[in-house]
Structure 1
Amino acid sequence: MPVTTCVFDGYGTLFDVAAAAREAASDPGFPQLAPHWPAIASLWRAKQLEYSWQRAIRGLHCDFWQVTVDGLDYAMEAEGIEDPALRTHLLALYRRLSAFPEVPAVLASLRAKGLKTAILSNGAPSMLSDAVASAGIGGVLDAVLSVETIGLFKPAPAVYDLVGRRFHTQPAQVLFVSSNGWDVSAAAAYGFVTAWVNRTGAPLDRLPGQPAHILPDLTALPDLEIY
């Protein structure tokens, strides 16, 4: 059964989650951030995900913007930085994260092959709308799917159900692409064809479900012999 639909995770896969801290660190108005931005970017992301999982387990759902704010507050305090203006600036930058350089061309190439393209993300709808608009990729996406329609975070299987509901596909007709090993694992176990974008050379997660393809970035995605 050939793949007809390519679905992408958003944050870390299409959008560079370190971009906000990196960009703010280059701003002369915030010199205190320069030595701290890599640690803040890393801890911000880790806590953002951790809080989404903790809330899911405890039945305390909130939208992804709230866990993004909470993650930043934790990271700034951990690095000993208390600056309301910097906090506001970092959050504003997160609403317009840069896409990775290859993203627009890859999405356009997939669409040219006749494939449907979509985002499936933990992100709140307003976050995703801002990011897609900032990256200028709305014209090469058929759908932007947010977990907020069901009030559950990935990797809950009900989140992956959103793809079939929107595109009327069987799991084997979907290529799911993510930079998050845990996300790829869950998607593979669900039945999607999967591609792990392993930008950092990380080892495979020890979880049920393994990626069908492992790529250093998205560039080679349109050339996979699965369509």
Structure 2
Amino acid sequence: MPLLTVPSVVYFDVNETMLDMSQVKSAIADALGNNEDLVPVWFSTLLHHSLVDCASGGFHNFTEIGAAALVMVAHSQGIQLSMEEATNKITGPMTSIPPHADVKESLIKLAEKGFVLVALSNSSQHGLEQQLANAGIAPYFNSVMSVEHLRIYKPYPQVYEAALKKMKISAQQGLMVAAHGWDVTGAKAVGMQTAFVERPGKMMYPLGREPDISVKDLNELTATLLAM
């Protein structure tokens, strides 16, 4: 199904959607006995416990939860890691992730055409700003938003509602772009337009809300937006 209107603001998820997580996955696999099959388990555990925090009224930043998830997955494999060791394994790679090949050119084209671009991430504010700066794409964003000040994670509706309020637009005027089905579903639930990016190995949640458009990469998304 096509986008209904040209969005006033395009919100981008960051990790995996824009940034290539390969080196982070390598670091995680290395910590887990060089077992790459455990990397998706680690990421699922990270996401799961971010929502456990939300549901139980607690909050830890993504690095802390990521380290805790790594300790837990390691423990399941008989590998003993301290929280300090796990944090050190994650912190360096997470802040120096390169962008996917299609990202920078797409952001430049959209910015040149006057689209308002926003980074919206579960990463901490400091970590997010480091990520975008180190990836060389920070200058193309009009705003950089972390969930940290809300103390609640995507896909909770409060995150998207706060992002819309900050940019002073209605839900239908915002487009959420993500390579995660849960992110698309969360944005769609509050009435935003959505675009799912089909990064390798990623697919929509079959029981989730259908995205308005599904694209193979940001080049295709950009072509779609510029043609509207």
> Does the alignment reach a TM-score above 0.5?
yes
Q: Which residue of 1 aligns with 2:120?
A: 120
2:143 maps to 1:182: no
TM-score, L = length of structure 1: 0.86
Query: What is the distance in 2 between the residues matched to 1:45 and 1:20?
Result: 11
- Amino acid in the other structure paired with 1:64: F
Q: Which residue of 1 aligns with 2:63?
A: 65
Q: Which residue of 2 aligns with 1:3?
A: 7
2:81 maps to 1:77: no
- Cα distance, 1:130 vs structure 2: 1.5
Structure 1: unaligned runs, 5 residues or longer: none
- Amino acid in the other structure paired with 2:120: L
User: 1:163-201: per-residue Cα shift (whole Å, max 9, x none)?
Assistant: 222221111111110111011012112111110112235
Query: What is the distance in 2 between the residues matched to 1:112 and 1:24?
Result: 37
SS of the residue corresponding to residue 144 of structure 2 reads strand
RMSD: 2.4
Contact 2:161–2:190 at 8 Å: present in 1 too? no
- Amino acid in the other structure paired with 1:7: Y
Query: What is the distance in 2 between the residues matched to 1:66 and 1:33?
Result: 18
- Cα distance, 1:203 vs structure 2: 4.8
- Cα distance, 1:33 vs structure 2: 6.4
| Large movers: runs of 4+ above 6 Å | 83-86
- Amino acid in the other structure paired with 1:219: N
Contact 1:7–1:119 at 8 Å: present in 2 too? yes
Percentage identity across paired residues of the two chains: 25
2:214 maps to 1:210: no
Contact 2:185–2:208 at 8 Å: present in 1 too? yes
- Cα distance, 1:56 vs structure 2: 1.1
Contact 1:21–1:40 at 8 Å: present in 2 too? no
SS of the residue corresponding to residue 165 of structure 2 reads helix
Query: What is the distance in 1 between the residues matched to 2:130 and 2:197?
Result: 23
User: 1:72-94: per-residue Cα shift (whole Å, max 9, x none)?
Assistant: 22233334444679742443212
Query: What is the distance in 1 between the residues matched to 2:134 and 2:80?
Result: 28
Q: Cα–Cα, structure 1 residues 18 and 58, in superposed 2: closer, same or farther, change >3 Å?
A: farther
Q: Which residue of 1 aligns with 2:18?
A: 14
SS of the residue corresponding to residue 127 of structure 1 reads helix
Query: What is the distance in 2 between the residues matched to 1:33 and 1:59?
Result: 30
User: 1:101-158: per-residue Cα shift (whole Å, max 9, x none)?
Assistant: 2111111111111101111111111110121111011111111111112111111111
- Cα distance, 1:66 vs structure 2: 1.3
